[in-house]
Amino acid sequence: MTPTAQFDLASIAGRFQLGGDFITSSPYGSGHINDTFAVTVRLASGEARYVLQRINHLVFKRPDELMENVERVCAHAQRKLTASGQPDAHRRALRLIPTTDGKSWFIDAAGNRWRCYDFVEKATGHDVVRNANQAFQAARAFGAFQSLLADLPGGRLHETIPDFHHTPTRFARFQAALAKDAHGRADAAKPEITFALARAAEVSRVVDALRAGQLPERVTHNDTKLNNVLLDDVTQEGICVIDLDTVMPGSVLYDFGDLVRTSTSPAAEDETDLALVTMQFPMFEALVNGYLSSANGFLTSAEKRLLPFAGKLITFEIGLRFLTDWLEGDTYFKIKRPMHNLDRLRTQFKLVASIEAQASAMQNFVDQK
Ligand code: ADP
Ligand code: GN1
Ligand code: MG
């Protein structure tokens, strides 16, 4: 997390229509990409909080296109939720706060891009799954999100990061980083590199099926880690899908796969005790049940059949990205310690191995649905 002191957050907050005076701000959440701050302001009626974010423009190279996507997605979701009579629609879809000149984002003097959302109170994005109901709720919410966006008007969304889930491209980049080994770090990851190279044959399965028209392209979230959906603190319902930067054309398998990656293991993504990392079958069952409770109406049989494989593929893909970032010198994901990416990639590959060991049981479970 970038230190708060680096930015004049009071003045940045002042560029948005917050309806009150700035009181305080502090770094918030545990995202790996943007800089996120909770901002408190004083209103006539009391206090209110907002989420102020600096968009990582090294990762998102076209913030104008990104924000156009986010505006469309937020507006459509809010419109549909309100039309369906949801009394708390304002908590169920993110709401952008306009700048004082009516835009959805602005660029500060240093070239940083900023945007602001209403804070969804009394809800939490969990880093680690605690029980099967959380897995169920998260998967149900992401299925409902995909369903909500199935009739998004205005044409295809921009691809905010091209080839984001093109696993063969990710694999090629890993191989290039390995060949270069610019920081002399390959030795430290020898077993993991062998593990990755042994799985080269499987990386094309989903993109090949998409290209062949055997899988449909849909509007998907593409970053469905557990902490990107807020669960209501009282009811535990999956109340609001957040982190909309990668909402773009994709496959539902990317979304379900990332849920398996982040919501089945009892260990944190950067856990150093690998004995704790395991794919817990009851969590997988809850994910499938939760996801089908909101997505079964639109899924094709080909999509459904590949749900278990998607868990393995996306866990492998993100592991590969951590490995690549390790080899390239930690330029992409925020790190908090020198070996952070190494720790992260190890948990991902341990989880892949655990998924592989349970693959046929996972497939049987889904096939019987
Ligand atoms: P990143 O892309 O860095 O992951 P996110 O958009 O996911 O950034 O935000 C980081 C964290 O901030 C989230 O995991 C969540 O805990 C919190 N957060 C983001 N938006 C909101 C919101 N509107 N209300 C409450 N919490 C939020
Ligand atoms: C990043 O932004 P955040 O922390 O929700 C990353 C995802 C990875 C994830 C790994 C834009 O997600 O793709 O799966 O870290 N987001 C981007 O935890 O690269
Ligand atoms: Mg996030």
The rounded distance, in Å, linking the Cα atoms of 340 and 323 is 10
Ligand nearest to the CA of 242: 1
Q: Are residues 163 and 230 in the same domain?
A: yes
The response to whether residue 320 sits with its C-beta less than 6 Å from ligand 1 reads no
Tokens encoding 17: 């229509």
pLDDT band at 121 (very low <50, low <70, confident <90, very high): very high
Top mutation candidate among 74, 116, 128, 242 for ligand 1, by most atoms within 8 Å of CB = 242
**Average pLDDT, stretch 185-208?**
98
The per-residue pLDDT for range 79-115, each reduced to its tens digit, is 999 999 988 999 999 999 999 999 999 999 999 999 9
**Average pLDDT, stretch 8-12?**
96
Q: Residue 4: its pLDDT value, please?
A: 52
Give nearest CA residue, ligand 1 atom 8: 31
The verdict on residue 66 lying in a domain is yes
Nearest to 52 by CA among 18, 102, 5: 18
The rounded distance, in Å, linking the Cα atoms of 104 and 368 is 46
Q: Are residues 11 and 49 in the same domain?
A: yes
Domain boundary among 73, 96, 121: 121
Q: Residue 26: its pLDDT value, please?
A: 96
Ligand nearest to the CA of 91: 1
The response to whether residue 303 sits with its C-beta less than 6 Å from ligand 2 reads no
Q: CATH number for the domain including 164?
A: 3.90.1200.10
How many domains are there within the chain? 2
Ligand nearest to the CA of 28: 1
Q: Are residues 158 and 287 in the same domain?
A: yes
The per-residue pLDDT for range 22-43, each reduced to its tens digit, is 999 999 998 999 999 999 999 9
Nearest to 25 by CA among 2, 51, 54: 51
The per-residue pLDDT for range 305-352, each reduced to its tens digit, is 999 999 999 999 999 999 999 999 999 999 999 999 999 999 999 999
pLDDT band at 1 (very low <50, low <70, confident <90, very high): very low
The verdict on residue 28 lying in a domain is yes
Q: Are residues 177 and 256 in the same domain?
A: yes
Domain boundary among 121, 141, 162: 121
Q: Residue 5: its pLDDT value, please?
A: 60
Give distance in angstroms: CA of 238 to centre of ligand 3: 15
Mean confidence (pLDDT) of the chain = 96
The verdict on residue 39 lying in a domain is yes
Give distance in angstroms: CA of 4 to centre of ligand 2: 21
Q: Are residues 299 and 219 in the same domain?
A: yes
Give distance in angstroms: CA of 31 to centre of ligand 3: 4
**Average pLDDT, stretch 280-284?**
98
268: pLDDT strictly greater than 50? yes
Q: Do 331 and 325 form a contact (C-beta atoms < 8 A)?
A: yes
Q: CATH number for the domain including 47?
A: 3.30.200.20
The per-residue pLDDT for range 234-267, each reduced to its tens digit, is 999 999 999 999 999 999 999 999 999 999 999 9
DSSP sequence for 275-293:
GG----HHHHHHHHHHHHH
Q: Residues of the chain with pLDDT > 70: what percent?
A: 99
The verdict on residue 64 lying in a domain is yes
DSSP sequence for 232-296:
ETTT--EEEE--GGG-EEE-HHHHHHHHHHHHS-SS-TT-S-GGG----HHHHHHHHHHHHHHHT
Q: Do 311 and 257 form a contact (C-beta atoms < 8 A)?
A: yes
Domain boundary among 88, 121, 154: 121
Q: Residues of the chain with pLDDT > 90: what percent?
A: 97
Q: Are residues 216 and 276 in the same domain?
A: yes
The verdict on residue 55 lying in a domain is yes
Q: Are residues 52 and 162 in the same domain?
A: no
The verdict on residue 56 lying in a domain is yes
Q: How would you class 234 by CB atoms within 10 Å of its CB: exposed for 0-12, middle for 13-18, buried for 19 or more?
A: exposed
Which residue in the block uniquely carries the two structure tokens 């856990």? 271
Q: What number does the ligand 2 atom closest to the CA of 269 have?
A: 18
Give distance in angstroms: CA of 318 to centre of ligand 3: 14
Q: Are residues 110 and 147 in the same domain?
A: no
202: pLDDT strictly greater than 80? yes
pLDDT band at 6 (very low <50, low <70, confident <90, very high): confident
The verdict on residue 126 lying in a domain is no
C-alpha distances (whole Å) from 92 to each of 25, 38, 83, 119, 242 are: 24, 19, 13, 11, 10
The response to whether residue 221 sits with its C-beta less than 6 Å from ligand 2 reads no
Give nearest CA residue, ligand 1 atom 4: 31
Q: Do 234 and 121 form a contact (C-beta atoms < 8 A)?
A: no
The verdict on residue 127 lying in a domain is no
| Domain of residue 13, residue span | 3-121
Q: Are residues 32 and 179 in the same domain?
A: no
